[in-house]
A and B are shown apart, each in its own frame.
Chain A
């Protein structure tokens, strides 16, 4: 069974600084998809970024970028120029080719002024 591990329960970052959230996963599949979702205090789940495993190029979305290391089964998220609105719980997620999802336990990001 696939597992997703987020080893950092909480990360703190100052405004305008950069923070990196780690995520590792375990799978024997070759075709899969990886995601980062953000959940602010409102509890709404918001997609941050998506990566297809067959693509070597790391996905980016504005201030959010990933470092996808397929051989190491690692999928970290970098938040650059952190803003107060980035404060949230961040979930790493894995999907197989059928759309069966597994989420990590989450990392709480705290942004300090």
Chain B
């Protein structure tokens, strides 16, 4: 158990819908990262927050947004969902931006 929690574990929704994925980092970690892992594209870095502020941005679509709240939990919002958004979404946390990351178990999203 990495200490990072993600909810929900599974999510099934339809195209065009909007969903919110939630992540609680390990106690004491200030950085939260979001990743997308699909079968054909490997692990894609989406975005990083550090202590409530956006720190680094990767290949995050405009339909996706994230935020980190004062209690350091984070949410990833996915809107106007498409079939291709079906993937495993990981959250990870670390003490600082370049420290070792600890991954949550992921949220499996299926868009039908």
**Residue ranges of A at the interface with B (Cβ–Cβ < 8 Å):** 33, 35, 37, 43-47, 50, 91, 95-106
**Residue ranges of B at the interface with A (Cβ–Cβ < 8 Å):** 2, 31, 33, 35, 37, 42-45, 48, 50, 55-58, 88, 90, 92, 94, 96-98, 100-103, 105-106
Flag if A44 contacts B58 (CB, 8 Å): no
Flag if B98 contacts A95 (CB, 8 Å): yes
Q: Inside 8 A of A99's CB, which chain B residues have their CB?
A: 31, 33, 48, 50, 55-56, 94, 96-98
**Which residue of chain B lies nearest to A32 when distances are taken between CB atoms in the complex?**
B98
Flag if A45 contacts B100 (CB, 8 Å): no
Q: A33-B98, A105-B42 are in contact. List 15 more A-B contacts (CB 8 A).
A: A35-B100, A43-B37, A43-B105, A43-B106, A44-B2, A45-B103, A97-B98, A99-B55, A99-B94, A99-B97, A100-B56, A100-B58, A101-B56, A102-B45, A103-B42
Q: How far is the CA of A22 from the CA of B92 in the complex (A)?
A: 25
Flag if A101 contacts B103 (CB, 8 Å): no
Given contacts A91-B43, A99-B31, A101-B58, contact A47 B100 (CB under 8 A): yes
Q: How far is the CA of A5 from the CA of B106 in the complex (A)?
A: 24
Instruction: List 12 contacting pairs A-B, 8 Å CB cutoff, sorted by A.
Output: A43-B88, A45-B103, A91-B43, A97-B97, A98-B55, A99-B33, A99-B97, A100-B58, A101-B33, A102-B45, A102-B58, A103-B42
